[in-house]
Amino acid sequence: MRRVGVFVCWCGSNIAGTVDIEQVKAAAAKMPNVAYVEDNKYTCSEPGQAAIQKAIKEQKLDRVVVAACSPRMHENTFRRTVGGAGLNPYLLEIANIREHCSWVHPDKVAGTRKAVDLVRRAVYKVAKNVPLQRASIDVTKRALIIGGGIAGIQAALDIADAGQPVVVVEKTPSIGGHMAQLDKTFPTLDCSACILTPKMVDAAQNQNITLMTWSEVEKVDGYIGNFTVTIRKKARHVDTTKCTGCGICWSKCPAKVSSEFDLGIGKRKAIYVPFPQAIPNKPVIDEKNCIFFKTGKCKACQMFCPTGSISFDQKDELVEEKFGAIIVATGYEQWDPSPYGEYGYGRYKDVITGLEFERLVNASGPTEGKIKRPSDGKLPKDVVIIQCVGSRDEAKGIPYCSKTCCMYSAKHAILLEEKIHAHSYVFYMDVRTPGKGYEEFYKRATEEHHATYIRGRVSRVYQKGDKLVCLGEDTLLGKKVEVEADLVILASAMVHQNGASKLAQTLGISYDQNEFYTEAHAKLRPVETNTAGIFLAGACQGPKDIPETVAQAGAAASKVISLLSKPKLETEPLVAQVNEAICSGCLWCKPICPYKAIDGKVVKERIAGGKTIERPVAAVNASLCQGCGACTVACRTGAMNVLGFTNEHILAEVDALCL
Amino acid sequence: MSATFTDHQAALRDEVKKLLTDGSIKGFIGYARGRDSYHPVPAIVTRPDQVDGLILDQFSIFGLTKYLLDYIFEDGKMGIVVKGCDALGLGRLINDHRVDRNKVHVVGLPCAGVLNGEKVAKLGLGKVQRVTDKGSAFLVEGDKGSKELPKTEYLWDKCLWCENHNPAGADTLLGSEVENVAMKPRDFSDITALEKMPSAERAAFWTRQFSRCIRCYACRNVCPACNCRECVFDIADPRWVGNTVKLSEQQMFHFTRAFHVAGRCVDCGECERVCPMEIPLMKLQRKLQKDVIELFGNPKPFVPSEVEVLGQFRVTEDPEEFM
């Protein structure tokens, strides 16, 4: 006979509002093995937890059921509570009578009945629980950061500051990311490069930081504390140990191509650094456009290089590195607004995106900061800025708000007025300014810089002479509006990085329908992923501006620092276990395991007659296993069990609910 | 017109004698005469002097591969004779790591179709003297009469749509390969008809079938896909399915077995053939075959392969947008 204590939580009125707590208590008291029942206004509060510990001691409880919110919310809290009272933390079950019951059932009678059922399920299950022990594993004291934008740089600096080595893998030739492309930053209008480049230099000079630019993550094996990552170092064709970044090579290179960094507004050479402040300030050869790689002739760069750094036969190199933790900071891409045919992006040269405007207004950009419009180089007098291009548009674009466009559009209006006295007309759906100093900044655009804000959408943009006529509607006045503009800026949405889903699959982390990576808990675990040891920073998780990105990068870094400072890691014991006695060794569980945690092994045993035989069975690597249970379903015999959720447990629950 | 099984009998005996004598196998699993000439039975010989008891005739339907499981921990090799359909069963056992291919000497028997002994026995032809392949028919000559039996009427159903007449990967092949074409296309019309039935009617149909089950487990015991070391129906704790003869338990048994075999069935039809209560078990399996063909685009789900349709996790090809 067990002695189960049942603790029913009110959760204020969250549960007690639609579930009759007294009835649940009375029913629980009659369930088998239940020795003690108590209710609490907030079981998760300090007095609530103390009450559980007191009851465990005084009532000599050996199992605990907490009927409260989702186990994802407070299971760990209550495990600690139970553990604190001397019980094994896994002798606890949660009956979720909030998310699964009170929140979704307005009918108190039916809701109460369901709550009783859920408690009975937990009581039956907990009786079958056995003490489980956490194992400990070693930690590789080294972090990997994927992405060298501001998120990656900040996280790397923070981790390095704590004295832990960190490797930043960046797929482009330089760190810096999108922030390096921006001109000024809202809401203070300090120059992006002025605040970013010192951090880039710090990162390059920090002894604890290794930068691997022009590199990509190819494969990730292992688990928290012990990741083995294969990194592809793409052929740079430049020996970075010899190159001094003098720039002779790119000045001599005859192949001109459009620059990705300048979004096609400017040109670069086939051997290039993406921008003057690039780090490392060492060029790469773009094999696709290099004349030598195309025709076998040229080698101008090699001829002129004073240090002999250039080698055309360099090949991609695969290196395998070990890490204890990973931060994913792969950022975002600007959405291509071509689906909005009516705006004429791609058809009219003077219809540009917000990011393109950043290059146009940037002092180190292709126009040296002169806002010359692309078609004829004239300075625009009237500029139309269209907000929510792609954002909040399920039909043509993406369903979510890109969060940064209201602010950067206001910034563009301010810069246009400040620099060239151009007048901006901003078409908006809503202006959203929920940040410190943001509303004031928007006010400044309208009041000090006289931007005209028009609530409504532009229906069509067409060319008339050298003007772009924008037809739209002012929905506040209920009138049609027509603006003749010299330049149209589309505040295009922020979308996931190219290949975001593929990287997620490589890493084994989850992503949402917009291909942004999913955090473990929207509120309480916002920088963790569901895969232990992998963390998120910046816009790869969803649209974010710079302050938010930097804050999240710091948060992710602190998680990594605390992980890497532990001498050993404790593993979750809720993993799959093979009953070797009945396992046939068919290994159907092996290919279906998403975490590659299962392999075959051979066991020896004595059979009737005293003979020793060898036979194959499945073996689970408990450190890799995440306890998802796919293998238990694939196993016909039932030889595979997830501890804490064994076949016995499931049957007990079914019996509790159905019999 | 191919050679009949009987034409290979002498060659088989010679081969088995040779293998047993030179010690390359320690035993051989084949057929012996049963209660009459229409019902050969499985036989296992371990000495050369027993070999003359082995027979081969056109009624040798019994799939023998499951007997290999009795020898997996023995030293030395076992020999076995397999038709095309049996070779798929052997493939199943090998893919499931239940049989080590290196410990089996496979004697392959090319097969132009097996006569349904149950049907032919009823014709009253007496003791069979000779069977000759006449192309579209078998001429069966017995001591009480002879008759030309059209293949489409007197072969087992599975032989008609069989596309595996020649056992793949045999160590020794008896005679030469036969023409490998199906006599008619695989036909799921009976399954489609069942699918179209109103659910109450369909439930009544299956209730009628399963209520006859006596839980003898013959279907499981003969099935090459039912090869677990310990069957889930034999495990006492947790007891997923009770072992009393009760409709709900019988249904649970058959549904569970069907799902365990789904995507792994080799279409040998043995379960249905051995069922003493004549439950049309292949209808269940063929429904699942049809689903695998339609849902997973695998035209031959009954051929064991390196990558099993229902035994993999390929996240990169997951049609879902997010995991």
CA distance B280 to B272: 6
Interacting residues of B260 by C-beta distance below 8 A, sequence separation 6+: A636, B225, B226, B232
pLDDT > 50? residue B322? no
CA distance A618 to A587: 6
Instruction: Select from A356, A366, A382, A380 the least CA-distant residue to A450.
Output: A382
* Same-domain pairing of B131 and B48: yes
Structure-block tokens of residue A93: 């079950």
Q: Is B316 part of a structural domain of the chain?
A: no
Rounding to the nearest 10 degrees, give the CA dihedral for residues B223, B225, B228, B234. Answer: -50
Instruction: Select from B293, B212, B295, B197 the least CA-distant residue to B251.
Output: B212
Q: Is B301 part of a structural domain of the chain?
A: no
List the beta strands (DSSP E) in A329-451: 332-334, 351-353, 382-389, 423-428
Q: Do A515 and A505 contact (CB within 8 A), yes or no?
A: no
Sequence letter at residue A604: K
Q: Is B179 part of a structural domain of the chain?
A: no
Helical residues (DSSP H) of A305-437, grouped into ranges: 354-361, 405-420
Domain count, chain B: 2
* Same-domain pairing of B27 and B60: yes
Question: What share of residues in chain B are helix, strand, coil (percent, to 5)?
Answer: 40, 15, 50
Q: Is B57 part of a structural domain of the chain?
A: yes
- At residue B128, the 3 state secondary structure works out as strand
CA distance A532 to A307: 46
Question: pLDDT for A494-532, tens place per residue?
Answer: 999 999 999 998 998 889 999 999 998 888 899 999 888
Tokens 């796919």 correspond to A630
Q: Do A414 and A440 contact (CB within 8 A), yes or no?
A: no
Q: Is B94 part of a structural domain of the chain?
A: yes
Q: Do A38 and A5 contact (CB within 8 A), yes or no?
A: yes
* Same-domain pairing of B43 and B139: yes
User: Which residues 490-529 of A are in CB contact (within 8 Å) with B?
Assistant: 501-502, 504-505, 510-513, 515, 518
Structure-block tokens of residue B66: 């499951």
Rg (CA), chain B: 21
In the prediction, which pLDDT does A626 show?
Answer: 84
Which residue of chain A is at minimal alpha-carbon distance from B97?
Answer: A586
Lowest-pLDDT choice from A161-165, B14-18, B34-38, B296-300 = B296-300
Q: Is B124 part of a structural domain of the chain?
A: yes
* Same-domain pairing of B275 and B239: yes
In the prediction, which pLDDT does B316 show?
Answer: 56
Residues in chain B: 323
Percent of chain B with pLDDT strictly greater than 70: 97
* Same-domain pairing of B158 and B242: no
Structure-block tokens of residue B228: 């677990």
Lowest-pLDDT choice from A226-235, A624-633, B108-117 = A624-633
Domains of chain A: 4-128 (3.40.50), 143-331+530-565 (3.50.50.60), 333-495 (3.50.50.60), 576-643 (3.30.70.20)
pLDDT > 90? residue B241? no
Q: How many CB atoms lie within 10 A of CB B144?
A: 9
Under the banding of pLDDT at 50, 70 and 90, the label for residue B1 is: low
More confident residue, B179 or B171: B171
**Which residue in the set B73, B96, B311 is minimally distant from A592, CB to CB?**
B311
pLDDT > 70? residue B323? no
Which residue of chain A is at minimal alpha-carbon distance from B315?
Answer: A505
Average pLDDT along chain B: 92
Which residue of chain A is at minimal alpha-carbon distance from B306?
Answer: A591
Percent of chain A with pLDDT strictly greater than 70: 100
* Same-domain pairing of B16 and B162: yes
pLDDT > 70? residue B217? yes
Q: Mind giving me the DSSP string for B150-188?
A: EHHHHB-HHHHT----S-TT-SEESS-PPP---SS----
For residue A595, list chain B residues with Cβ-Cβ distance below 8 A: none
* Same-domain pairing of B17 and B163: yes
In the prediction, which pLDDT does B321 show?
Answer: 47
Angle between helices A354-361 and A405-420 (to 10 degrees): 30
Cβ contacts below 8 Å, chain A against chain B, sum to 79
Distance from CA of B179 to the nearest CA of A (A): 34
CA distance A370 to A258: 19
Q: Is there a contact between A587 and B322 if contact means CB atoms under 8 Å apart? A: no
Distance from CA of B279 to the nearest CA of A (A): 23
* Same-domain pairing of B78 and B222: no
Question: pLDDT for B218-235, tens place per residue?
Answer: 999 999 999 999 999 998
Average pLDDT along chain A: 95
Does residue B319 sit at the A interface (CB-CB below 8 Å)? no
How far is Cα of residue A372 from the mean position of the Cα atoms in its chain? 37
How far is Cα of residue B81 from the mean position of the Cα atoms in its chain? 13
Per-residue burial over B170-179, b = 16 or more CB atoms within 10 Å of its CB, e = otherwise: bbbebeeebe
Under the banding of pLDDT at 50, 70 and 90, the label for residue B198 is: very high
Cα–Cα distances in angstroms (integers) from residue A34 to residues A6, A7, A127, A649, in the given order: 7, 11, 10, 17
CA distance A513 to A228: 28
Helical residues (DSSP H) of A494-602, grouped into ranges: 500-507, 546-565, 589-592
- Residue A151: which H helix or E strand, with range? helix A150-161
* Same-domain pairing of B160 and B241: no
Under the banding of pLDDT at 50, 70 and 90, the label for residue A610 is: confident
Q: Is there a contact between B315 and A594 if contact means CB atoms under 8 Å apart? A: yes
Q: Is B302 part of a structural domain of the chain?
A: no
- Boundary (domain end) residue, out of B145, B173, B201: B173
Distance from CA of B245 to the nearest CA of A (A): 20
Tokens 């249904």 correspond to B251
Distance from CA of B89 to the nearest CA of A (A): 15
Query: Which of B66, B94, B96 is the mutation pick for testing A, counting most A CBs within 10 A?
Result: B96
In the prediction, which pLDDT does A72 show?
Answer: 85
In the prediction, which pLDDT does B94 show?
Answer: 95
Structure-block tokens of residue B40: 């050969």
As a whole number of angstroms, the longest Cα–Cα distance in chain A is 100
Domain span at residue B120?
Answer: 5-173
- Boundary (domain end) residue, out of B114, B141, B173: B173
For residue B260, list chain A residues with Cβ-Cβ distance below 8 A: 636
**Which residue in the set A511, A587, A613 is minimally distant from B97, CB to CB?**
A587
- Boundary (domain end) residue, out of B113, B148, B173: B173
CA distance B97 to A371: 71
Helical residues (DSSP H) of A206-334, grouped into ranges: 248-252, 291-295, 300-304
Does residue B248 sit at the A interface (CB-CB below 8 Å)? no
For residue A588, list chain B residues with Cβ-Cβ distance below 8 A: 96, 308, 311
How many CA within 13 A on the CB side of residue A245? 13
Percent of chain B with pLDDT strictly greater than 90: 79
Q: Do A106 and A95 contact (CB within 8 A), yes or no?
A: no
Interacting residues of A649 by C-beta distance below 8 A, sequence separation 6+: A125, A128, A129
CA distance A489 to A356: 9
Question: pLDDT for B68-97, tens place per residue?
Answer: 999 988 889 999 999 999 999 999 999 999
As a whole number of angstroms, the longest Cα–Cα distance in chain B is 70
For residue B232, list chain A residues with Cβ-Cβ distance below 8 A: 636-638
Q: What are phi and psi of A473, to 5 degrees?
A: -130, 135
Instruction: Select from A171, A151, A239 the least CA-distant residue to A211.
Output: A171
In the prediction, which pLDDT does A570 show?
Answer: 84
Classify residue A51 as left (phi > 0), alpha (psi -120 to 50) or beta: alpha
* Same-domain pairing of B24 and B158: yes
Which residue of chain B is at minimal alpha-carbon distance from A509?
Answer: B323
User: Which residues 44-83 of B are in CB contact (within 8 Å) with A?
Assistant: 72-73
CA distance B63 to A235: 59
Question: pLDDT for A436-446, tens place per residue?
Answer: 999 999 999 99
* Same-domain pairing of B270 and B162: no
Q: Mind giving me the DSSP string for A189-236?
A: TEEHHHHHHHHHHHHHH-TTEEEE-SEEEEEEEEETTEEEEEEEE---
Question: pLDDT for B261-316, tens place per residue?
Answer: 999 999 999 999 999 999 999 999 999 999 999 988 888 888 888 888 888 887 65
Query: Which of A128, A496, A586 is the mutation pick for testing B, counting most B CBs within 10 A?
Result: A586
How far is Cα of residue A86 from the mean position of the Cα atoms in its chain? 38
Tokens 């963790």 correspond to A528
Q: Do B42 and B54 contact (CB within 8 A), yes or no?
A: no
**Which residue in the set A510, A587, A591 is minimally distant from B322, CB to CB?**
A510
In the prediction, which pLDDT does A595 show?
Answer: 79
Q: Is there a contact between A637 and B311 if contact means CB atoms under 8 Å apart? A: no
Q: Is B24 part of a structural domain of the chain?
A: yes
Is the peptide bond between A280 and the residue preceding it cis, with omega within 30 degrees of 0? yes
Q: What are phi and psi of A642, to 5 degrees?
A: -90, 120
What's A257's DSSP letter? E
CA distance A588 to A618: 9
In the prediction, which pLDDT does B307 show?
Answer: 82
Sequence letter at residue A324: G
Q: Residue range A553-571: average pLDDT? A: 94
Q: Is there a contact between A591 and B232 if contact means CB atoms under 8 Å apart? A: no
In the prediction, which pLDDT does A179 show?
Answer: 97
* Same-domain pairing of B54 and B164: yes
Question: pLDDT for A531-549, tens place per residue?
Answer: 889 999 999 999 999 999 9
Q: Is the dihedral of CA A546, A547, A549, A554 positive or negative?
A: positive
Instruction: Select from B1, B16, B8 the least CA-distant residue to B58.
Output: B8
User: Which residues 567-586 of A are in CB contact (within 8 Å) with B?
Assistant: 581-586
Q: Is there a contact between B313 and A630 if contact means CB atoms under 8 Å apart? A: yes
CA angle B54, B56, B58 (to 5 degrees): 155
Q: Is there a contact between A634 and B311 if contact means CB atoms under 8 Å apart? A: yes
Structure-block tokens of residue A11: 């959760």
Distance from CA of A548 to the nearest CA of B (A): 25
Tell me how many helices (H) and strands (E) chain A has. 18, 34
Q: Is there a contact between B323 and A511 if contact means CB atoms under 8 Å apart? A: yes
Q: Do A141 and A560 contact (CB within 8 A), yes or no?
A: no
Classify residue A521 as left (phi > 0), alpha (psi -120 to 50) or beta: beta
Q: Is there a contact between A588 and B96 if contact means CB atoms under 8 Å apart? A: yes
Does residue A613 sit at the B interface (CB-CB below 8 Å)? yes
Specify the pTM. Answer: 0.71
Does residue A638 sit at the B interface (CB-CB below 8 Å)? yes
Which residue of chain B is at minimal alpha-carbon distance from A637?
Answer: B232
CA distance A561 to A139: 12
Q: Do B57 and B6 contact (CB within 8 A), yes or no?
A: yes
How far is Cα of residue A599 from the mean position of the Cα atoms in its chain? 30
